[in-house]
Homo-oligomer: A and B are copies of this chain.
């Protein structure tokens, strides 16, 4: 048995090494690779992923897991090894269900779809994308069926990002949240708009960059085990133990993009920097799920980074960095500006109060598409109709509407809800943190984040992917994921800002 476990870990380590190497290929492509490398780079990532998949789904891995699953029944169910077997066996079951022909087919369909999407968005021409999306949807429907029987075909998609979560659970959570959030936004819309022109001045890149570095260093980002680089679309990547990298962008004519993006990616990185070395090179060397991951990025970006105590410490420093731009802008005005609520057509530009509604729109559409209740060709009109119902306005064209996100062209259905769930979890965690660290606001107002990070490490980060999202949230907060804390948070914060 010890030998079987050791052999399994050896295989998993190689699979992990391949996937981290592939992550470096991707990081490099986003950050540094010359244009001419695109084709070869795609082939290289394809080979690494294929070989990793082959090793992971090999008969040997399957046999080892069968044997170890039986033995693991006698182990402490919360031990690293028992959880490793459980998590790995589940992934393995999913992986072997997918015929390699379907993997190849997906690569072909999505590679064409991604290109068509880019062209379609540029010209706001949905019909150009439509036949590709139809193929993606048809593939996704077949894919979901591979995991039957299940309560809902969408369960199969969701489970990939949120292990153990069911469509019905997610729907119930959001059914509670939506009316309250819509109501809040209506109340805000009735109030005078907040002035935010001071954010749209010229902020030189290097000064922005240095200030961002100062902030995430204060958060606790470990530069001995990470770095930051510039890209077009920011992301965080984990390249193996001791190497968690953040990427960011800088707009010289709009301050928010850089600073909040940087805090967001640093939040992801702090999570992975907190996973202990003993879990490295295994499927447990990961966040619990995408939503739990997003809870960390949102916590540092919003709960910390858009809070009053945070800026009471950092705003005077920022004024020193940008005396011409912000010297005469009061802290209160700046705080309100970075928290301004205004429905935008584009999800990635949305504020804290409206963001979830963008997601709920997409979640509903994905489920309806999968069930066949909405046809692909109807998407633009259904999008606009529902958008108006949620956010009180209608996109001027499809580029700013149904065509804005890349996800569907890559067959990433089931992914969007993780963003909104992350927001909910961040607020749930925050309520517990505030109880357990009563002077947290005072600490943040002194630029001290050590106790906060230590708490997150102890309660969440150190477990890596040992627990499913609902399990770990329950463990930490005493209840499963729900939206009540997030609604309380929004109502209190924006109630104050907008004097509701």
**Inside 8 A of A405's CB, which chain B residues have their CB?**
none
Known: A40-B240, A225-B37. A47 touches B28 (CB 8 A): no
Contact of A240 among B13, B37, B223, B227 (CB under 8 A): B37
Q: Are A243 and B34 in contact (CB under 8 A)?
A: yes
Query: Is the CB–CB distance between B43 and A17 below 8 Å?
Result: yes
Separation of A18 and B47 alpha carbons in the complex (Å): 8
- In the complex the two chains form, what is the Cα distance from A224 to B33 in whole Å? 9
Chain B residues in 8 Å Cβ range of A223: 34
The residue among A43, A223, A227 with the most chain B CB atoms within 10 A of its own CB is: A43
Residues on the B chain within 8 Å of A334, using CB: none
Q: Which of B36, B43, B46, B224 contacts A35 (CB 8 A)?
A: B224
Q: Does A198 contact B (CB under 8 A)?
A: no
Query: How far apart are the CA atoms of A225 and B222 in the complex, in Å?
Result: 33
| Interface-side segment among A19-27, A212-220, A321-329, A473-481 | A19-27
Mark interface residues in A428-442 (1 if CB within 8 Å of B CB, else 0): 000000000000000
List, in ascending order, chain B residues with CB within 8 A of A43's CB: 13, 17, 240, 281
Interface size for chain A: under 10, 10 to 19, 20 to 34, or 35 or more residues?
35 or more
CA distance A457 to B241 in the complex (A): 43
Residues of B within 8 Å of A28, CB to CB, are 24, 28
With known contacts A18-B48, A24-B25, A25-B24, A240–B32 Cβ distance under 8 A: no
A39 interface residue per 8 A CB criterion: yes
Q: Given A28-B28, A223-B34, A17 and B39 touching (CB < 8 A)?
A: no
In the complex, whether A412 has a CB less than 8 A from a CB of chain B is no
How distant is the Cα of A30 from the Cα of B39 in the complex, in angstroms? 24
User: Does A242 lie within 8 Å of B14, measured CB to CB?
Assistant: no
Is the Cβ of B280 less than 8 Å from the Cβ of A40? yes
Residues of B within 8 A of A46 (CB): 17
A21 & B34 in contact (Cβ 8 Å cutoff): no
Residue of B38, B51, B224 near A36 (CB, 8 A) is: B224
Of B13, B25, B33, B50, the contact of A21 (CB 8 Å cutoff): B25
**Residue ID in chain B nearest A32 by CB atoms:** B227
Select from chain B the residue with minimum beta-carbon distance to A281: B43
Q: A44-B240, A223-B34 are in contact. Are A21 and B21 (CB under 8 A)?
A: yes
The 6 listed contacts between A and B (C-beta, < 8 Å) are A17-B46, A17-B48, A34-B227, A36-B226, A40-B240, A44-B240
